[in-house]
Chain A
């Protein structure tokens, strides 16, 4: 597709269960970002991928959160043993060529996670 896609669009889970969120970036975009947005709040940076490596994981809130990217394309954000405070919208974004001076970031529609 032309834009960033994310799945699922909504996820309801029980406390303590693991969840996987998927992001398909725009084709050819080498950089991929994960953010978290709580209700009515701004964007909280989680992790950044350049290709398949993650030079910046500084935003991951705990060791329950992990992410990987394969083939320089699809990325998966995994939350283990979910807690109610993990409830939020998880946004993925991609950009073409970081450091090239013309950075522009495009967002997916997000995955709305609710932990009961």
Chain B
């Protein structure tokens, strides 16, 4: 399916730092999802957003559904080594049948 614009492509940070990544689209989305994929595993759902402006937290993770419905961001606070992996955004449009994925952000946390 159509790829969303996700940035940055990769990040190298020190343990304890905060992380921010975002996803944008030229189309309006009804749902935004954020996934994390560890090496050799399938993507695991982190946060799901269903309403424009919605801000949702899951532990050290916070994600927001942009007010324009064309973007979303994910923040990770106080990063730890196990945060390493690839983070994908995904979204659905009005019919909701197909999921569109971002190109991924590779996160490396340096102890």
Chain A residues in the interface with B (C-beta under 8 A): 4, 31, 33, 42-43, 45, 48, 50, 55-56, 59, 91, 93, 95, 98-110, 112
Contacts and interface: CB of A to CB of B under 8 A. Distances in A.
Contact of B97 (A42, A93, A98, A108): A98
A89 to B, nearest CB: 8
Contacts, number: 67
B30 interface: yes
Nearest to A31: B97
Contact of A110 (B3, B41, B88, B102): B41
Contacts of B101: 42-43, 45
14 contacts: A42-B3, A42-B101, A42-B102, A42-B103, A45-B98, A59-B1, A91-B43, A93-B99, A99-B95, A105-B33, A105-B99, A109-B41, A110-B42, A112-B40
Interface of B: 1, 3, 30-31, 33, 35, 40-45, 48, 50, 88, 90, 92, 95-99, 101-104
Contacts of A103: 30-31, 92, 96, 99
